[in-house]
Structure 1
Amino acid sequence: MDLITFIIVTWNNQQQIRQCLQTIMKYTLVPYRIIVVDNHSSDETVQIIQKEFSTVDLIISPDNVGFAKANNLALWQVNSEYVCFINPDIILTEDIINPSIHVLKEKQDVGLVSCKLRNLDSSLQPSCFHFADAYSLVAEILHIGKIFPQFLCKKYFMNFYNAKTDFYPQWVIGAEMVMRTQEAKDIGGFSTEYYMYTEDMDLCKKIDCILNKKIYYLANISLIHLGGASEVQNFNYNKQEKLIKNDLLFIKKFYGENEVHKVLRNMNRAYNFRLNLLNLFYYRNDKNLQIDKTKKVIDIIKEIRDGYCSR
C-alpha cells in the first residue's frame, strides 16, 4: 500500500512537469502515488503526462477551478497515510519524504512539515513567514528585517531568517507541504474562498486553530522551486491587488473586521513612508520604477479602503 500521495496542480506547465515528475520518482524511496489535477491547460501538459507517465493518476478539469479547489479534488481520493502537496515547478534533489514523515511520526504536535526552498542557482528562497496582521505586513513592506540580526529575524521577521537548524515558523509557502492525510481532510483541505494566493497561509492557520498543531521547517533538507511559472502566464491577473485583498480576507476571517481597518491604515502609512524613503535616499537605476510601483500600490489600497468605508 502507498505510504504517501503527491498532489500536483498544473496549469500550462509543459516546461516544468516532466522534470518535476521525474525527480519525484527518482528520489522518493517509499511506496507512493502521484495525482495530477490539470486546471484546463491549453498547452501540452496533459499530453506529456498521458504519454510519458502512465502510472500517474490524471484528473482533467474542464475549467480552471483555482489552486485550492483543484488540490481538494485530489485530496478526497487519497487513501495513503500521508499526503504531499507539491507544485509542478519543483525539482527534487534529494529524498524529502522520509525526513518529513519521520518528523510527523516523532512529533505529534506538528501538523505540517516543509523543506527549504532554493532557487535554481541554489540560493535561499524565502518561504517562512508570520501570519498577516497589522504589524507583520508593515515589516514586509518596509523590509525591516534587513537591518536586524538573525536571532531577531527568527522571532519577528521570518522572511529574512536563513535557518541553519529546524524550527517552527507560523506559515510556509505552499510549494511543498507534507501532512497526515486524515488531518488534511479534518480541516477541509485548502480554503476555496481564495482562488489564487494566500491558500497556504490559511491552511497553516487552520492547522494552528483547528488542530492546535504547529508547522515544522526542515532547514537542511531542500528542493528547487522555479517559482511563478503559472503566475507569469496570467497577464490579466493583478497580483499585487489580489495579494492585498486575500490578506484582508484572511485577516477578516481569523481576526475580525476591526483588524482589517487597522491593517489598511497601517499599510497606507507604510507605503507612503516607503515612497518618501525612495524619493530621498534611493539612487539605483530602477528608482523611477520603484516609485511608480509604490504609487500604484498606494492607489490600490486607497481604492480598497474606499470600498470598505462605503459599506
Structure 2
Amino acid sequence: MVDNASTDGSADFVRDAFPLVSLIRLPANTGFAHACNVGITHAQGRYICFLNPDTELLNNALKSMVTFLDKRPLAALVGGSLQNEDGSRQPSVRSFPRPFIALGIAFKLHHIPGLRRLFHAYFQDAFNYETSQQVDQVMGAFFIVRNFFLAQVGGFDERFFLWFDEVDLMRHAHELGWQVWYYPRAKAIHWGAQSFSKVSSYENQKQFLISMRRYIRKWHGAFAAAPLILVTPVILFCYRAASFTLSHAHGIKAKIVSRKSVHNV
C-alpha cells in the first residue's frame, strides 16, 4: 500500500491494524501516477490491482479477475463492475475522448439535456454492462493490470498528476495491440467522490482540465489541444468566481440564521 502523504491518520491505522501489509509512505503528494509507479516497483505478482480508497470489493472479485486474465493472454488489463452504495450500477466504461468531445466536456455541455446526445458514444450510454467485452477504457477506480504490460510501457505517465493517467495507460495498451476488457462478475462498491471530498471544486477542475488537455496533446497533437489550452483559464476563472459567490452567499445565510436564533432566544 502506498500512502501519498496523507494527513488523516489512515497510514497509521493500516500500520497498526494490518501489520502484514507492506506500507510505503511518501514524504509528499507527488500525484496518483507517481504513487502507483512506486507501488509497481515493489510489487512481485503477475498482476497488479489498482484500487481507489473509496472502493469496497465484493465476494471473490480479485480471484475471478485473475482467472479471467489467465484465460486471455492478449488482455493487458480488466476492469470490474462498479456499484453505488444502494446497489445500483455505476457507469464505468467509456470510449477514448476525441478533441471535440474533450472541449465539450470542459464546458460541461454534456449536462445540457439537448446536447447530451452528442456525448452518447463517449459515455457509452448504450453499453451492455451484463456482458464481458473488449472496451476502450474502464474506470480507474478498480482494475487489474498484467505486470508484463506495465514493464513494457514503463508504468503510468507521471506527467498526469491526477485524472486521465489510466486513460493514457489504456490507450497505450490498444496502440501496442493489447486488449482491455470489462468483466461484470467482478464487483465493487464505489463510494462516489469520497477520494475528492476534501479537495475544493476549483482544484478538482484545475487538475481535470490540465490532465485532459495533456492527454489530447499527447495523442492528438498540439493543434488539437490548442482550444483547450485557450479556454482553460476562462473556465477556471468562472469556477473561482462561482466558488467565491457561493461561499459569500453561505456566509450571509449563516449570519441571518444566527441573528434569527439569537432573536428567538
Cα distance between partner residues in 1 of 2:27 and 2:215: 28
In the alignment, what sits opposite 1:200?
166
**For structure 1, which runs of at least 5 residues remain unmatched after alignment?**
1-35, 269-292, 300-311
Q: CA deviation at 1:135?
A: 3.7
Alpha-carbon distance change, 294 to 161 in structure 1, aligned in 2, over 3 angstroms: farther
1:175 paired to 2:174:
no
Task: Give 1:143 shift.
Answer: 3.2
Distance change (3 Å), C-alpha of 1:68 and 1:294: closer
1:224 paired with 2:189, answer yes
Q: Deviations over 1:211-246 (max 9, x none)?
A: 321210012431101132232212385222321221
Alpha carbons of structure 1 residues 208 and 214: separation in structure 2 relative to 1, 3 Å: same
* 1:113 alignment partner in structure 2: 78
8 Å CA contact 2:65–2:144 kept in 1: the answer is yes
Q: TM-score, normalised by structure 2?
A: 0.77
Q: 37, 57, 70: which is aligned to 1:92? A: 57
Which residue matches 1:303?
Answer: none
Q: How many angstroms does 1:157 deviate by?
A: 3.8
Q: Distance in 1 between matches of 2:178 and 2:217?
A: 22
CA deviation map 1:44-101 (0-9, x unaligned)? 2122111110110000111111111111111011111111111121111221123222
Q: Say which SS state the counterpart of residue 200 (structure 1) adopts.
A: helix
SS in 2 for 1:88: coil
Choose the corresponding residue for 1:296, options 221, 235, 238: 238
TM-score of the superposed pair, with normalisation by structure 1 = 0.67
Q: Which runs of 5+ in 2 are unaligned?
A: 242-265
**Is 1:189 the equivalent of 2:155?**
yes
RMSD over equivalenced CA pairs, Å: 3.1
Paired residue total: 235
**3-state DSSP of counterpart to 2:2:** strand
In structure 1, what is the Cα distance between the partners aligned to 2:181 and 2:114? 26
**How far apart are 1:120 and its partner, in Å?**
0.8
Percent sequence identity is 26
Identify the residue that residue 99 of structure 2 maps to in structure 1. Answer: 134
**3-state SS of paired residue (1:143):** helix
Once the two structures are TM-superposed, the CA of residue 124 in structure 1 deviates from its matched residue by 1.7
